[in-house]
Amino acid sequence: MKTSSLATLLIVTTLVVSTYAQTFTLKSFLVKTLEKSRVIEVENANLKKLDDTVDGQRSGFLPDVNATVQYTTVGNQQSQTPIYNQTINGTSTKINLSQNLFNGLKDLNNLEAANHSRDAQVYKLQETRKSETESALSLFFKLLQYQKDIENQKQEILLYEKNLTDLKTRVQSGSARQNEVINLEATIANSRIDLATSENSLKLAQAQAAAVLRDEDSNAVSVSLKKFSFSFEQTKSLVAKMDTNTRAELKSLSATVQSKENNIRVQKGSYSPSLDLSGSYLVNSSDTNTNQNTYTAGVVLTIPFPVSVKKSSELSKARAEKAIAEIELEKKKDDLQKERAQLIQNLQNNVKQIELLKNAKALNKSNVDSLGRDHRSGLASYSDVLNASITYQKTLQKYDRAVLDFELNCYHALLWSSDVESIISGIED
Protein backbone atom coordinates (compact mmCIF):
# COMPACT_ATOMS: atom_id res chain seq x y z
CA MET A 1 0.00 0.00 0.00
CA LYS A 2 1.20 3.52 -0.72
CA THR A 3 2.12 5.88 2.07
CA SER A 4 -0.68 8.38 2.53
CA SER A 5 -0.35 12.10 1.99
CA LEU A 6 -1.83 12.28 5.45
CA ALA A 7 1.32 10.72 6.85
CA THR A 8 2.31 14.17 8.07
CA LEU A 9 0.06 13.34 10.97
CA LEU A 10 2.11 10.43 12.28
CA ILE A 11 0.44 8.78 15.20
CA VAL A 12 2.58 7.03 17.74
CA THR A 13 0.08 6.75 20.53
CA THR A 14 1.51 4.09 22.74
CA LEU A 15 -0.12 4.95 26.05
CA VAL A 16 1.47 3.04 28.91
CA VAL A 17 -1.44 1.79 30.98
CA SER A 18 0.41 -0.91 32.85
CA THR A 19 3.96 -1.65 33.90
CA TYR A 20 3.79 -4.72 31.72
CA ALA A 21 1.75 -3.18 28.91
CA GLN A 22 1.89 -5.09 25.65
CA THR A 23 1.75 -2.89 22.59
CA PHE A 24 0.20 -4.25 19.41
CA THR A 25 0.77 -2.94 15.92
CA LEU A 26 -2.14 -3.18 13.51
CA LYS A 27 -0.71 -6.29 11.85
CA SER A 28 0.04 -8.11 15.11
CA PHE A 29 -3.38 -7.18 16.52
CA LEU A 30 -5.20 -8.61 13.50
CA VAL A 31 -3.06 -11.75 13.41
CA LYS A 32 -3.63 -12.53 17.08
CA THR A 33 -7.35 -11.75 16.87
CA LEU A 34 -7.84 -14.26 14.04
CA GLU A 35 -5.61 -16.77 15.81
CA LYS A 36 -7.66 -16.57 19.03
CA SER A 37 -11.13 -16.28 17.47
CA ARG A 38 -13.55 -18.84 18.89
CA VAL A 39 -15.97 -18.16 16.04
CA ILE A 40 -13.36 -19.13 13.45
CA GLU A 41 -12.56 -22.28 15.44
CA VAL A 42 -16.23 -23.29 15.31
CA GLU A 43 -16.46 -22.68 11.56
CA ASN A 44 -13.28 -24.69 10.96
CA ALA A 45 -14.79 -27.56 12.96
CA ASN A 46 -17.98 -27.32 10.89
CA LEU A 47 -15.90 -27.52 7.71
CA LYS A 48 -14.15 -30.64 8.99
CA LYS A 49 -17.54 -32.16 9.76
CA LEU A 50 -18.75 -31.48 6.21
CA ASP A 51 -15.54 -32.96 4.79
CA ASP A 52 -16.42 -36.17 6.61
CA THR A 53 -19.98 -35.96 5.26
CA VAL A 54 -18.69 -35.74 1.67
CA ASP A 55 -16.46 -38.76 2.26
CA GLY A 56 -19.45 -40.64 3.66
CA GLN A 57 -21.55 -39.85 0.59
CA ARG A 58 -18.78 -41.07 -1.71
CA SER A 59 -18.82 -44.41 0.08
CA GLY A 60 -22.45 -44.82 -1.03
CA PHE A 61 -21.20 -45.78 -4.49
CA LEU A 62 -19.19 -48.72 -3.14
CA PRO A 63 -20.65 -52.22 -2.82
CA ASP A 64 -21.87 -53.36 0.58
CA VAL A 65 -19.88 -56.43 1.64
CA ASN A 66 -20.23 -58.31 4.92
CA ALA A 67 -19.41 -61.74 6.28
CA THR A 68 -20.84 -63.90 9.07
CA VAL A 69 -19.20 -66.87 10.75
CA GLN A 70 -21.17 -69.28 12.94
CA TYR A 71 -19.83 -72.10 15.07
CA THR A 72 -22.23 -74.78 16.43
CA THR A 73 -21.93 -77.79 18.69
CA VAL A 74 -24.63 -80.46 18.72
CA GLY A 75 -24.65 -83.13 21.45
CA ASN A 76 -26.63 -86.40 21.10
CA GLN A 77 -27.03 -88.71 24.09
CA GLN A 78 -29.11 -91.93 24.00
CA SER A 79 -30.13 -93.82 27.14
CA GLN A 80 -29.42 -97.26 25.78
CA THR A 81 -27.20 -100.13 26.87
CA PRO A 82 -24.45 -99.42 26.32
CA ILE A 83 -24.94 -95.61 26.67
CA TYR A 84 -24.20 -93.84 23.40
CA ASN A 85 -22.90 -90.22 23.30
CA GLN A 86 -22.15 -88.20 20.17
CA THR A 87 -21.04 -84.56 19.70
CA ILE A 88 -20.98 -82.92 16.28
CA ASN A 89 -19.12 -79.62 15.69
CA GLY A 90 -19.89 -77.49 12.68
CA THR A 91 -19.02 -74.11 11.15
CA SER A 92 -20.90 -71.92 8.74
CA THR A 93 -19.33 -69.03 6.82
CA LYS A 94 -21.36 -66.71 4.64
CA ILE A 95 -20.27 -63.73 2.54
CA ASN A 96 -22.94 -61.28 1.32
CA LEU A 97 -22.52 -58.65 -1.37
CA SER A 98 -24.96 -56.06 -2.66
CA GLN A 99 -24.48 -53.25 -5.14
CA ASN A 100 -27.00 -50.63 -6.13
CA LEU A 101 -27.29 -50.26 -9.88
CA PHE A 102 -29.93 -47.54 -10.00
CA ASN A 103 -31.92 -45.64 -7.37
CA GLY A 104 -33.15 -42.56 -9.17
CA LEU A 105 -29.70 -40.92 -8.89
CA LYS A 106 -30.22 -40.46 -5.14
CA ASP A 107 -26.60 -41.28 -4.30
CA LEU A 108 -25.28 -38.88 -6.93
CA ASN A 109 -27.55 -36.06 -5.76
CA ASN A 110 -26.70 -36.74 -2.12
CA LEU A 111 -23.02 -36.40 -3.00
CA GLU A 112 -23.58 -33.18 -4.95
CA ALA A 113 -25.68 -31.78 -2.10
CA ALA A 114 -22.89 -32.58 0.35
CA ASN A 115 -20.30 -30.97 -1.94
CA HIS A 116 -22.39 -27.80 -2.26
CA SER A 117 -22.88 -27.69 1.51
CA ARG A 118 -19.14 -27.97 1.95
CA ASP A 119 -18.57 -25.17 -0.59
CA ALA A 120 -21.05 -23.03 1.31
CA GLN A 121 -19.10 -23.65 4.51
CA VAL A 122 -15.80 -22.73 2.83
CA TYR A 123 -17.28 -19.38 1.81
CA LYS A 124 -18.85 -18.97 5.24
CA LEU A 125 -15.42 -19.45 6.80
CA GLN A 126 -14.04 -16.74 4.51
CA GLU A 127 -16.94 -14.50 5.46
CA THR A 128 -16.30 -15.15 9.15
CA ARG A 129 -12.62 -14.30 8.84
CA LYS A 130 -13.53 -11.01 7.13
CA SER A 131 -16.17 -10.25 9.74
CA GLU A 132 -13.72 -10.92 12.57
CA THR A 133 -11.14 -8.74 10.80
CA GLU A 134 -13.65 -5.89 10.46
CA SER A 135 -14.48 -6.11 14.16
CA ALA A 136 -10.78 -6.20 15.06
CA LEU A 137 -10.10 -3.14 12.89
CA SER A 138 -12.91 -1.21 14.57
CA LEU A 139 -11.63 -2.16 18.02
CA PHE A 140 -8.03 -1.30 17.13
CA PHE A 141 -8.94 2.18 15.89
CA LYS A 142 -11.23 2.69 18.87
CA LEU A 143 -8.30 1.99 21.20
CA LEU A 144 -6.09 4.23 19.11
CA GLN A 145 -8.60 7.07 19.24
CA TYR A 146 -9.02 6.89 23.02
CA GLN A 147 -5.26 6.85 23.47
CA LYS A 148 -4.90 9.87 21.19
CA ASP A 149 -7.71 11.70 23.02
CA ILE A 150 -6.02 11.10 26.37
CA GLU A 151 -2.67 12.26 25.01
CA ASN A 152 -4.22 15.47 23.62
CA GLN A 153 -6.24 16.13 26.77
CA LYS A 154 -3.22 15.72 29.02
CA GLN A 155 -1.21 18.12 26.87
CA GLU A 156 -4.14 20.51 26.92
CA ILE A 157 -4.35 20.42 30.73
CA LEU A 158 -0.59 20.95 31.07
CA LEU A 159 -0.85 24.00 28.82
CA TYR A 160 -3.77 25.40 30.82
CA GLU A 161 -1.97 24.82 34.12
CA LYS A 162 1.10 26.66 32.83
CA ASN A 163 -1.10 29.54 31.70
CA LEU A 164 -2.85 29.50 35.09
CA THR A 165 0.46 29.99 36.88
CA ASP A 166 1.35 32.89 34.58
CA LEU A 167 -2.13 34.37 34.94
CA LYS A 168 -1.99 34.32 38.76
CA THR A 169 1.32 36.15 38.60
CA ARG A 170 -0.23 38.77 36.34
CA VAL A 171 -3.20 39.18 38.70
CA GLN A 172 -0.79 39.96 41.51
CA SER A 173 0.88 42.57 39.34
CA GLY A 174 -2.49 44.03 38.37
CA SER A 175 -2.25 43.25 34.65
CA ALA A 176 -5.01 40.61 34.74
CA ARG A 177 -8.38 40.20 36.46
CA GLN A 178 -9.28 37.59 39.09
CA ASN A 179 -12.32 36.41 37.11
CA GLU A 180 -9.95 35.32 34.34
CA VAL A 181 -8.24 33.02 36.85
CA ILE A 182 -11.60 31.58 37.91
CA ASN A 183 -12.61 31.06 34.29
CA LEU A 184 -9.37 29.20 33.52
CA GLU A 185 -9.68 27.04 36.65
CA ALA A 186 -13.20 26.06 35.56
CA THR A 187 -11.85 25.18 32.12
CA ILE A 188 -9.17 22.96 33.68
CA ALA A 189 -11.79 21.23 35.85
CA ASN A 190 -13.94 20.51 32.79
CA SER A 191 -10.91 19.24 30.89
CA ARG A 192 -10.13 16.82 33.72
CA ILE A 193 -13.69 15.51 33.55
CA ASP A 194 -13.23 14.91 29.82
CA LEU A 195 -9.92 13.18 30.55
CA ALA A 196 -11.52 10.89 33.14
CA THR A 197 -14.26 10.01 30.65
CA SER A 198 -11.69 9.14 27.98
CA GLU A 199 -9.66 7.05 30.43
CA ASN A 200 -12.76 5.11 31.42
CA SER A 201 -13.66 4.55 27.76
CA LEU A 202 -10.13 3.29 27.14
CA LYS A 203 -10.36 0.82 30.03
CA LEU A 204 -13.63 -0.55 28.67
CA ALA A 205 -12.11 -0.93 25.21
CA GLN A 206 -9.04 -2.59 26.73
CA ALA A 207 -11.25 -5.09 28.53
CA GLN A 208 -12.97 -5.84 25.22
CA ALA A 209 -9.59 -6.28 23.52
CA ALA A 210 -8.38 -8.54 26.33
CA ALA A 211 -11.41 -10.78 25.80
CA VAL A 212 -10.86 -10.90 22.05
CA LEU A 213 -7.14 -11.61 22.42
CA ARG A 214 -7.70 -13.93 25.39
CA ASP A 215 -5.33 -11.81 27.44
CA GLU A 216 -5.74 -12.17 31.21
CA ASP A 217 -4.56 -8.63 31.99
CA SER A 218 -7.09 -6.21 30.50
CA ASN A 219 -4.82 -3.28 31.43
CA ALA A 220 -1.95 -4.65 29.35
CA VAL A 221 -3.38 -3.89 25.90
CA SER A 222 -2.26 -0.82 23.99
CA VAL A 223 -1.88 -0.17 20.27
CA SER A 224 0.30 1.94 18.01
CA LEU A 225 0.10 3.13 14.41
CA LYS A 226 3.17 4.79 12.97
CA LYS A 227 1.86 5.75 9.56
CA PHE A 228 -1.24 5.70 7.44
CA SER A 229 -1.78 3.37 4.49
CA PHE A 230 -4.34 5.25 2.39
CA SER A 231 -4.60 8.57 0.58
CA PHE A 232 -7.55 10.47 -0.84
CA GLU A 233 -6.48 9.44 -4.34
CA GLN A 234 -6.96 5.76 -3.47
CA THR A 235 -10.62 6.08 -2.53
CA LYS A 236 -11.83 6.01 -6.15
CA SER A 237 -9.93 2.78 -6.79
CA LEU A 238 -11.25 1.22 -3.59
CA VAL A 239 -14.84 2.14 -4.44
CA ALA A 240 -14.51 0.85 -8.02
CA LYS A 241 -13.48 -2.59 -6.72
CA MET A 242 -16.38 -2.89 -4.27
CA ASP A 243 -18.38 -5.51 -6.19
CA THR A 244 -21.15 -7.27 -4.26
CA ASN A 245 -20.83 -10.34 -6.50
CA THR A 246 -17.38 -11.06 -5.08
CA ARG A 247 -18.62 -11.23 -1.49
CA ALA A 248 -18.20 -14.59 0.22
CA GLU A 249 -21.67 -14.25 1.80
CA LEU A 250 -23.36 -14.42 -1.61
CA LYS A 251 -21.19 -17.32 -2.75
CA SER A 252 -22.05 -19.20 0.44
CA LEU A 253 -25.78 -18.64 0.04
CA SER A 254 -25.64 -19.53 -3.68
CA ALA A 255 -23.96 -22.83 -2.82
CA THR A 256 -26.66 -23.42 -0.20
CA VAL A 257 -29.37 -22.91 -2.84
CA GLN A 258 -27.64 -25.50 -5.06
CA SER A 259 -27.47 -27.92 -2.14
CA LYS A 260 -31.21 -27.48 -1.52
CA GLU A 261 -31.89 -28.15 -5.21
CA ASN A 262 -29.98 -31.42 -4.94
CA ASN A 263 -32.05 -32.32 -1.89
CA ILE A 264 -35.20 -31.88 -4.00
CA ARG A 265 -33.76 -34.25 -6.60
CA VAL A 266 -32.99 -36.77 -3.85
CA GLN A 267 -36.61 -36.69 -2.72
CA LYS A 268 -37.83 -37.05 -6.31
CA GLY A 269 -35.52 -40.03 -6.67
CA SER A 270 -37.39 -41.80 -3.89
CA TYR A 271 -40.35 -42.10 -6.32
CA SER A 272 -38.20 -43.98 -8.85
CA PRO A 273 -37.72 -47.77 -8.95
CA SER A 274 -34.42 -49.05 -7.61
CA LEU A 275 -32.35 -51.90 -9.00
CA ASP A 276 -29.81 -53.76 -6.86
CA LEU A 277 -27.41 -56.59 -7.54
CA SER A 278 -27.10 -59.09 -4.70
CA GLY A 279 -25.11 -62.24 -4.12
CA SER A 280 -23.92 -64.54 -1.36
CA TYR A 281 -21.59 -67.48 -0.87
CA LEU A 282 -22.17 -70.02 1.94
CA VAL A 283 -19.77 -72.67 3.21
CA ASN A 284 -20.94 -75.28 5.76
CA SER A 285 -18.62 -77.89 7.29
CA SER A 286 -18.88 -80.39 10.19
CA ASP A 287 -17.09 -83.26 11.94
CA THR A 288 -19.04 -85.74 9.89
CA ASN A 289 -17.10 -84.64 6.81
CA THR A 290 -20.26 -83.17 5.43
CA ASN A 291 -19.34 -80.00 3.49
CA GLN A 292 -21.77 -77.84 1.62
CA ASN A 293 -20.97 -74.85 -0.62
CA THR A 294 -23.87 -72.72 -1.81
CA TYR A 295 -23.94 -69.47 -3.74
CA THR A 296 -26.74 -67.18 -4.85
CA ALA A 297 -26.82 -64.28 -7.28
CA GLY A 298 -29.58 -62.10 -8.57
CA VAL A 299 -31.05 -58.67 -9.07
CA VAL A 300 -33.71 -56.99 -6.97
CA LEU A 301 -36.16 -54.53 -8.47
CA THR A 302 -38.01 -52.37 -5.95
CA ILE A 303 -40.97 -50.28 -7.10
CA PRO A 304 -42.31 -47.73 -4.59
CA PHE A 305 -46.07 -48.19 -4.71
CA PRO A 306 -48.31 -46.64 -3.61
CA VAL A 307 -46.83 -43.18 -3.08
CA SER A 308 -46.56 -42.59 0.65
CA VAL A 309 -47.65 -39.43 2.44
CA LYS A 310 -44.22 -39.28 4.09
CA LYS A 311 -42.41 -39.06 0.74
CA SER A 312 -44.73 -36.32 -0.45
CA SER A 313 -44.15 -34.41 2.78
CA GLU A 314 -40.36 -34.72 2.50
CA LEU A 315 -40.45 -33.39 -1.07
CA SER A 316 -42.59 -30.41 -0.04
CA LYS A 317 -40.19 -29.72 2.82
CA ALA A 318 -37.18 -29.80 0.47
CA ARG A 319 -38.88 -27.36 -1.90
CA ALA A 320 -39.74 -25.01 0.96
CA GLU A 321 -36.14 -25.07 2.21
CA LYS A 322 -34.87 -24.12 -1.25
CA ALA A 323 -37.39 -21.26 -1.47
CA ILE A 324 -36.22 -19.95 1.91
CA ALA A 325 -32.57 -20.17 0.81
CA GLU A 326 -33.36 -18.19 -2.35
CA ILE A 327 -35.11 -15.49 -0.32
CA GLU A 328 -32.14 -15.27 2.04
CA LEU A 329 -29.83 -14.91 -0.96
CA GLU A 330 -31.85 -12.02 -2.42
CA LYS A 331 -32.09 -10.35 1.00
CA LYS A 332 -28.33 -10.57 1.45
CA LYS A 333 -27.86 -8.96 -1.99
CA ASP A 334 -30.06 -6.05 -0.90
CA ASP A 335 -28.25 -5.75 2.44
CA LEU A 336 -24.85 -5.69 0.76
CA GLN A 337 -25.98 -3.02 -1.69
CA LYS A 338 -27.08 -0.86 1.25
CA GLU A 339 -23.83 -1.57 3.10
CA ARG A 340 -21.82 -0.65 0.01
CA ALA A 341 -23.71 2.61 -0.49
CA GLN A 342 -23.29 3.53 3.18
CA LEU A 343 -19.56 2.82 3.15
CA ILE A 344 -19.06 4.88 -0.01
CA GLN A 345 -21.00 7.74 1.58
CA ASN A 346 -18.86 7.47 4.72
CA LEU A 347 -15.66 7.66 2.68
CA GLN A 348 -16.90 10.71 0.79
CA ASN A 349 -17.88 12.38 4.06
CA ASN A 350 -14.48 11.53 5.54
CA VAL A 351 -12.67 13.24 2.68
CA LYS A 352 -14.85 16.37 2.90
CA GLN A 353 -14.60 16.51 6.67
CA ILE A 354 -10.81 16.19 6.69
CA GLU A 355 -10.46 18.97 4.12
CA LEU A 356 -12.77 21.24 6.13
CA LEU A 357 -11.06 20.46 9.42
CA LYS A 358 -7.62 20.98 7.90
CA ASN A 359 -8.70 24.46 6.84
CA ALA A 360 -10.40 25.12 10.20
CA LYS A 361 -7.27 23.97 12.03
CA ALA A 362 -5.12 26.48 10.17
CA LEU A 363 -7.61 29.32 10.73
CA ASN A 364 -8.01 28.55 14.43
CA LYS A 365 -4.24 28.43 14.92
CA SER A 366 -3.91 31.77 13.19
CA ASN A 367 -6.69 33.18 15.40
CA VAL A 368 -4.96 31.99 18.58
CA ASP A 369 -1.67 33.57 17.50
CA SER A 370 -3.40 36.83 16.55
CA LEU A 371 -5.35 37.07 19.82
CA GLY A 372 -2.17 36.27 21.73
CA ARG A 373 -0.46 39.28 20.16
CA ASP A 374 -3.52 41.47 20.79
CA HIS A 375 -3.63 40.33 24.42
CA ARG A 376 -0.01 41.28 24.94
CA SER A 377 -0.84 44.67 23.42
CA GLY A 378 -3.90 45.07 25.61
CA LEU A 379 -6.34 44.79 22.72
CA ALA A 380 -7.85 41.42 23.72
CA SER A 381 -8.75 39.83 27.04
CA TYR A 382 -7.25 36.61 28.29
CA SER A 383 -10.73 35.04 28.05
CA ASP A 384 -10.67 35.70 24.32
CA VAL A 385 -7.33 33.94 24.03
CA LEU A 386 -8.52 31.05 26.21
CA ASN A 387 -11.71 30.50 24.21
CA ALA A 388 -9.75 30.56 20.97
CA SER A 389 -7.27 28.03 22.39
CA ILE A 390 -10.10 25.72 23.47
CA THR A 391 -11.65 25.92 20.00
CA TYR A 392 -8.28 25.13 18.43
CA GLN A 393 -7.73 22.09 20.69
CA LYS A 394 -11.20 20.74 19.91
CA THR A 395 -10.54 21.19 16.19
CA LEU A 396 -7.29 19.24 16.51
CA GLN A 397 -9.14 16.38 18.21
CA LYS A 398 -11.85 16.35 15.54
CA TYR A 399 -9.19 16.31 12.83
CA ASP A 400 -7.38 13.36 14.41
CA ARG A 401 -10.65 11.45 14.74
CA ALA A 402 -11.63 12.17 11.14
CA VAL A 403 -8.27 10.91 9.84
CA LEU A 404 -8.52 7.71 11.88
CA ASP A 405 -12.11 7.20 10.74
CA PHE A 406 -11.03 7.62 7.11
CA GLU A 407 -8.27 5.04 7.56
CA LEU A 408 -10.70 2.58 9.15
CA ASN A 409 -13.29 2.98 6.38
CA CYS A 410 -10.58 2.47 3.75
CA TYR A 411 -9.72 -0.87 5.33
CA HIS A 412 -13.40 -1.81 5.36
CA ALA A 413 -13.60 -0.95 1.65
CA LEU A 414 -10.44 -2.95 0.93
CA LEU A 415 -12.01 -6.02 2.54
CA TRP A 416 -14.62 -6.00 -0.24
CA SER A 417 -12.04 -6.79 -2.92
CA SER A 418 -9.14 -8.47 -1.11
CA ASP A 419 -8.77 -11.51 1.09
CA VAL A 420 -7.76 -11.14 4.72
CA GLU A 421 -4.32 -12.72 4.31
CA SER A 422 -3.22 -10.37 1.51
CA ILE A 423 -4.44 -7.33 3.48
CA ILE A 424 -2.53 -8.34 6.60
CA SER A 425 0.64 -9.13 4.65
CA GLY A 426 0.42 -5.71 2.98
CA ILE A 427 0.29 -3.75 6.25
CA GLU A 428 3.55 -1.93 6.95
CA ASP A 429 4.16 -1.68 10.70
- pLDDT in the model for residue 286: 76
Compute, in degrees rounded to 10, the torsion defined by CA atoms 219, 225, 230, 235.
20
Q: Which residue has better confidence, 372 or 9? A: 372
Whether CATH 1.20.1600.10 fits 5-63+105-268+309-426: yes
Q: What is the mean pLDDT of residues 122-141?
A: 97
What are the φ/ψ torsions at residue 180 (nearest 5 degrees)?
Answer: -70, -35
Q: Where are the beta strands (DSSP E) in 172-232?
A: 221-223
Give burial (CB, 10 Å; 0-12/13-18/19+) of 390. middle
User: What is the per-residue pLDDT across 34-70, written as a single tens digit (0 to 9) for each?
Assistant: 999 999 999 999 999 999 999 999 988 888 999 999 8
pLDDT digits (tens, 9 = 90+) for 210-227: 999 987 665 678 898 888
Summarised one tens digit per residue, pLDDT across range 137-174 is 999 999 999 999 999 999 889 988 988 888 898 888 88
Q: Work out the percent of the chain whose per-residue pLDDT is above 70.
A: 89
pLDDT, position 77: 61
CA distance 174 to 56: 93
Global pTM value = 0.80
Average pLDDT over residues 401-412: 95
Contact 329, 254 (CB under 8 A): yes
| pLDDT for residue 12 is more than 70 | no
Of residues 5 and 306, the one with the higher pLDDT is: 306
Mean pLDDT value across residues 392-415: 94
Q: pLDDT digit string (tens) for 77-126?
A: 655 555 556 677 788 898 999 998 888 888 999 999 999 999 999 999 99
DSSP label at 3?
A: P
Please give the pLDDT value at position 9. Answer: 39
Tell me the pairing of strands 22-24 and 221-223.
Answer: parallel
The fraction of the chain above a pLDDT of 90, given in percent, is 58
pLDDT tens readout for residues 226-272:
888 888 888 999 999 999 999 999 999 999 999 999 999 999 888 88
Quote the strand ranges of 35-131, DSSP E.
64-78, 84-102
pLDDT, tens digit, 9 for 90 and up, residues 339-392? 999 999 999 999 999 999 999 999 999 999 999 899 888 888 878 888 898 899
pLDDT of 17 higher than 60 = no
pLDDT band at 7 (very low <50, low <70, confident <90, very high): very low
- Secondary structure of 380-416 in HEC code, one letter for each residue: CCHHHHHHHHHHHHHHHHHHHHHHHHHHHHHHHHHHH
- Given this model, what pLDDT does residue 2 score? 41
Nearest to 337 by CA among 406, 410, 416: 416
Can you give the residue ranges of every domain in the chain?
5-63+105-268+309-426
DSSP string, 122-169: HHHHHHHHHHHHHHHHHHHHHHHHHHHHHHHHHHHHHHHHHHHHHHHH
Distances (CA, A) of 122 to 39, 57, 134, 189, 249: 14, 18, 19, 55, 10
Task: With H, G, I as helix, E, B as strand and everything else as coil, classify residue 221.
Answer: strand
